[in-house]
Chains A and B, each alone.
Chain A
Amino acid sequence: MENSNGQVVQASGVSRRFGEGAAAVDALVDVSTAFDRGRFTAIMGPSGSGKSTLMHILAGLDKPTAGTVVLDGQEITSLDDTELTKLRRDKLGFVFQFFNLLPVLTAEENLVLPLSIAGRKPDQAWLDQLVDTVGLGDRRTHRPSELSGGQQQRVAVARALVSKPTVVFADEPTGNLDSKASSDVLRLLRHAVDDFGQTVIMVTHDPAAAAHADRLITLRDGRIVHDGAPGSADEVIELMKTID
């Protein structure tokens, strides 16, 4: 389990039903899959396909109606709030569509926020490396409002990486960015996977974003309908057409 290519997240028979009775909606139906350490996976699918729900459940943010999720050897669907908090501190990193930086903190303070919350001291060398990688440079002390969208999202990615989590979950990380900023952010994620051995699971509906991944899982109506290498952006577009 601890070898570099071991499976770091395993979902088995995961189903998620919202609502009850006639109004019930099955967002996920018996989904089983696993994610390798140090790989970059993209999850795609049309609206309502269950891609976001899958990610929420894999990250312990939502609980499945049936099935189990094992993250780094730990079954997480039955954890209580305290155990989940510890899990998030130690093993999870998040990147959001709307950056979610705290406007009252500087870029660097935002970057080290997960460590501050956990009461840990940042490793200065690692921090410098991150700041360097993100290209924050002399903007360390700037507030989010003084940064461009792309810069903010790169800070958000660095924040997800700072605690060296087992998995980074990214939810539409380029959904709110122009194409230049998007590709910067995606290259940053790619870099994290390639150079730091980071595991990244990303939900997106941007074919160009998916093309940066090592693997593409496609969902429709709560089921996995495709699982393989994404190929180029155009190939992803073609693939998506067959699904819609």
Chain B
Amino acid sequence: MTSLALKSLWARKVRALTTMLAVVIGVAFVAGTYILTDTTFAAFDEIFEDSLAKTDVVISAKDEVRQESGEVPSFGADLLPKVKQVRGVSVAAGQIFTPGGFFDEENEQIGSKFAPKFITSILPEALETQTYTEGRLPRDASEAALDQDAAEEAGLGLGDTLKLASVERVAAYRIVGLTRLGDASWGGASIAGLVLPEAQRITGKRGEFDQIAIAAAGVSEATLKQRVERVVPSSVLVETAKQNAERNSDQIREDIGFLRIALLVFAFVALFVGAFLIFNTFSITVAQRIREFGMLRTLGASRRQILSSVVIEALAIGLLGALVGLLAGYGIAVGLNALFVAIGIDLPTTALVTKDRTIVVSLLIGIGVTLVSSFIPALRSTRVPPIAALLAIELPHSRRRGLVTAAAAVLLGVAGLAMLLAGLFGGADGGAAAGLMGGGAVVVILGVSLFSPRLVRPLASVAGKPLEIARRLTGRLARENTQRNPARTAVTAAALMIGLAVVVFVTVFAAGIKSSIATAVDESFQGELVIQNSDGFSPISPRTAPAAARVSGVELVSSLRAAQAKLLDGGGGKPRVSSLSRNADAVLNIDWTDGGPETLRRLTDGEAILNKSFADGNDLALGDRVRFLTQIGAKPELEVVGEFEDKAGLLGSVIVTQGLMARQFDQRDDLIDFVKLTPGADAARVQASLAALMKRDFPVAEVRNQQELKENQEEQINQLLGLIYALLGLAVIVSLFGIANTLALSIHERTRELGMLRAIGMSRRQVRTMIRYEAVITALIGALLGMVLGVIFAALIAQPLKDEGFALSYPVGTLVALLVFAAIAGVLAAIAPARRASRLNVLESLQYE
């Protein structure tokens, strides 16, 4: 029986291949995600290990609260002499390792503006692990080394000028050496090396280090670490090289771990769509093999044998699909990385990593999805009576079963909706809420799919109307054909529905975010220009604001500083704390719910103003005292003296004074400078002079007007949208295969009928058109259902965000374009089946049994 199952699978290998493709694409996505993220993590591990290859113990400042900008506090250089005297230290050296900006001679950025770039000091040879592929070490303050990949990318070589900019200052250097570290590629990251005093000067860390690296002589790392710990203050952290590398690795996993989850979500969508294709193909093939199953029953095959023959087929398709998918996963991993690079996320890479877990998960998922989705058709095959060998029978769809299905569909829909709402309003925390909402969406989609056979008739009439008007009979026949087996059309359409529901949801939601940001920027921000770091999240020099204020046409500049802190007592995550200049109300329109501009002006170092949603979320009210833990370990206790609403998300959760920000939060740099122009000043001219000033003195800073600020946000959202569309593309492709497969199978079934139509005078062209229209109608049904679902999901999820100023806006143009896209997709899916149908030999088809 096993060999029979495999042989009959082989006989229908083209069909099996399409089914397998659904498994392959889904599994490849899963495998590719694991391979890519494992590889990225491995590359980071390699880089961390390589850079510490000659180091045994590392001293760094304690970083109590990690900052969005990734900046780590520095510590006093006076620690070094004490460390050097510790017994067992062979070499110890202070080091600078600070994020900065890289520019060429014309002050143009080198590399992607989001890519991390570090200004470092070169280490003594006993500790240095970078090797020089060309040139030599920098010897004085005018020379720099640059990593080879960055140099190649920017077209720079020995003797060329490299400008480095920290938040503090900018300087030009002559490149005298090109470096390399280990085998892993750093992706977009780059490193410039300077002699230590110059590195300290340019980063504004004179008399300070970011790190001290120590090599041991004759003692173990652990012993040396203990000895060093005895001579240093508790404000610094002493780690063995291994501990340091592991901590950095863990941090990276925390930082970009979301990437894996996000990709797996898209992989799940592709698999979910694939499950529909598998279900449909198996349903149709079982229906077409009724006579064969009946014959096998007359020859003595038991129900269990019939069941196992179908299950074995599924198993074979699943296993093979999973294996091919696993291999294709390497391609997907490379493709995904290219996709990320294209939108500016250039992660480090190394040799592709395949963990056992990747293989096991891929195989389990491939086989599991195939078995689960083919199970119902397999069960149906056991209901074929032996007499089916002698009579043409169809497996009955009883009325009762129809009712049960409808009831189950409604139940699923309600349950899914309940899960969605529970996730939205139930107050569960991040992960659980997302799980509930995602699960709810899946259950709702299953409910709609179960119910959709009842919707096929009316929807096909609507979608088919224009076609019927255009091509009377052909259109009519096409529409009738899609209505002939509503369950089959429904499942085929459902596959496309899922992909489109997600696309529409994302599109509508993104449109909402864009318009909300635009409104928020307009409402809350009165200054005409802003100055920001060009990456959008790193700080800029506090000297930028006074310099800008001196430009003619500028009335005043108000700066905003920000730091991440931890809320102590009750622990409410990691709020962003901001501080504003006293003149902030001249440029910002703060929406006060308690207090007013005078609250801000009179704010003391012992007080804080809270964002209302943060206050409500943590049960804080006016007069309460709150304690925060800051990056440098300080624990300021503050009294709540005001509350505001912040739709633009500019001000974060807490506002404190700039003095407190500097002392307790260790933040002296600006995040954003708001520029107010003198009345009557020419905005464009002022912006140009400010831009020139920035380019000359503060190259990491960028001037944007309100419009550009909005466009910049929009551009980032569009980029993310593009990425999401690309990732959903795979799921949509799977659903197109589904349409093609269903069409091909139904044409096979209708051979005799098609022969008849040809015999009474239908042209090949008309047959092709008819099949194509069937695909278009099916695709449109899926698209319409998907749109309704997507819009409903977006509207639901927007509800709790209303308080934060989120308003939905419906991109009608895009939605119409998506419908057109679905119709075109239908035409594409129909190419092969339509051709086959039109080439049927009339005589043979009429005799076809």
Q: Which residues of A contact B295 (CB under 8 A)?
A: 94, 96, 100, 102
Q: Chain B binding site: helix, strand, loop or mixed by DSSP?
A: helix
Across the interface, do A159 and B299 meet the contact criterion of CB distance under 8 Å?
Answer: yes
Q: Is residue B157 within 8 Å, beta carbon to beta carbon, of the partner chain?
A: no
Q: Is the CB of B390 within 8 A of A117?
A: no
Tell me the chain B residues, 671-722 only, with Cβ under 8 Å from chain A: none
The answer to whether A116 touches B4 (Cβ under 8 A) is yes
**Which residues of chain B have C-beta atoms less than 8 A from A61's C-beta?**
298, 385-387, 390
User: A114 — which chain B residues lie within 8 A by C-beta?
Assistant: 299-300
Q: Give the chain A neighbours of B205 by CB distance below 8 A.
A: none
Whether a CB of chain B sits under 8 angstroms from the CB of A227 is no
Contact with A along B234-266 (1 / 0, CB 8 A): 000000000000000000000000000000000
Chain A residues, Cβ within 8 Å of B372: none
Residue A226 at the chain B interface, CB threshold 8 Å = no
Number of A-B contacts (CB under 8 A): 69
Within 8 A of A (CB), among B370-414: 385-387, 389-390
A82, B302: Cβ atoms under 8 Å? yes
B5-13, B74-82, B587-595: which lies at the interface: B5-13
Q: How far is the CA of A124 from the CA of B386 in the complex (A)?
A: 28
Inter-subunit contact B298/A92 (CB<8 Å): yes
Task: Pick from B8, B299, B302: contact of A104, CB below 8 A.
Answer: B8
Inside 8 A of B1's CB, which chain A residues have their CB?
A: 116-117
The answer to whether A103 touches B11 (Cβ under 8 A) is yes
Given known A-B contacts A62-B387, A100-B295, A105-B4, A118 and B11 have beta carbons under 8 A apart: no
A232 CB to nearest chain B CB (Å): 29
B389→A100 contact, CB < 8 A: yes
**Complex formed: what's the CA distance from A144 to B7 in Å?**
14
In the bound complex, what is the Cα–Cα distance between A88 and B305 (angstroms)? 14
Residue B465 at the chain A interface, CB threshold 8 Å: no
Interface status of B758 (Cβ within 8 A of chain A): no
Q: With an 8 A cutoff between CB atoms, is B183 at the interface?
A: no
Count of A residues near B, CB < 8 Å? 30
The distance from the CB of B246 to the nearest CB of chain A, in whole angstroms, is 57
A88 cross-chain contacts in B, Cβ below 8 A: 297-300, 386
Contact A104 B11 (CB under 8 A): yes
A56 at interface by CB-CB < 8 Å: yes
Residue on A nearest B10 in the bound complex, by CB: A104
Chain A residues, Cβ within 8 Å of B299:
88, 94, 113-114, 117, 159
Q: Is B429 in contact with chain A by the CB < 8 A criterion?
A: no
Q: What CA separation (Å) do A215 and B292 show in the bound complex?
A: 32
**B residues near A117, Cβ cutoff 8 Å:** 1, 296, 299-301, 305
Q: Given the interface contacts A56-B387, A62-B387, does A102 sit within 8 Å of B292 by beta carbon?
A: yes
> Is A108 positioned at the interface, with any CB of B under 8 Å from its CB?
no
Among B8, B10, B298, B300, residue most surrounded by chain A Cβ atoms (within 10 Å): B300
B298 touches A85 (CB 8 A): no
* Shortest Cβ distance from residue B121 to the other chain A in the assembled complex, whole angstroms: 73
* Assembly CA distance A171 to B294 (angstroms): 14
Q: Is the CB of A85 within 8 A of B302?
A: yes
Distance from B138 Cβ to chain A, minimum over Cβ atoms (Å): 74
- Nearest opposing residue in chain B for A62, CB measure: B387
Q: Which residue in chain A gives the minimum CB-CB distance to B1?
A: A117
What residues of chain A lie closer than 8 Å to B849, measured between beta carbons? 98
CA of A105 to CA of B295, assembled, Å: 14
Give min CB distance, B647 to chain A, whole Å: 67
Question: With the chains together, A114 CA to B305 CA distance in Å?
Answer: 12
Query: Which residues of A are found within 8 Å of B225, using beta-carbon distances?
Result: none
Bitwise, B1-44 to A at CB < 8 A (1) or not (0) is 10010011011000000000000000000000000000000000
Query: Please, which residues of chain B bring their CB within 8 A of the CB of A244?
Result: none
- Docked CA distance A146–B675 (Å): 87
A48-64 to B contact mask, C-beta < 8 Å, 1/0: 00001000100001100
Contacts known (A61-B298, A61-B385); A105 close to B390, Cβ less than 8 A: no
A49 to B385, CA, bound (A): 23
> Judging by beta carbons under 8 Å apart, are B298 and A94 in contact?
yes
**Residues B300 and A85 in contact, CB atoms below 8 Å apart:** yes
A residues less than 8 Å from B387 (CB atoms)? 56, 61-62
The answer to whether B4 touches A102 (Cβ under 8 A) is: yes
**Per-residue interface assignment for chain A, residues 86 to 100, with 1 indicating a CB less than 8 Å from any chain B CB and 0 otherwise:** 101110101011101
Interface flags for A158-194 (1: CB within 8 Å of B; 0: not) read 0100010000000100000000000000000000000
Q: For the complex, is B303 an interface residue (Cβ under 8 Å from A)?
A: yes
1/0 per residue B190-203: CB within 8 Å of A?
A: 00000000000000
**A96 and B8: CB pair below 8 A?**
no
The verdict on B291 contacting chain A, using a C-beta distance below 8 Å, is yes
Query: What residues of chain A lie closer than 8 Å to B10, measured between beta carbons?
Result: 104
Of all A-B residue pairs in the complex, the 7 with the closest CB atoms, nearest first, are A89-B300, A104-B11, A61-B387, A100-B295, A104-B7, A88-B300, A114-B299
Selected A-B contacts with CB under 8 Å, 9 pairs: A56-B387, A88-B297, A96-B389, A97-B390, A104-B7, A105-B4, A113-B299, A117-B299, A117-B305
Known pairs A82-B302, A89-B300, A97-B390; list 9 more (Cβ under 8 Å).
A61-B385, A88-B299, A92-B298, A100-B291, A100-B389, A102-B8, A102-B295, A105-B7, A114-B299
The chain A residues found within 8 Å of chain B, CB to CB, are 52, 56, 61-62, 81-82, 84-86, 88-90, 92, 94, 96-98, 100, 102-105, 113-114, 116-118, 159, 163, 171
What residues of chain B have their CB less than 8 Å away from a CB belonging to chain A?
1, 4, 7-8, 10-11, 291-292, 295-303, 305, 385-387, 389-390, 849
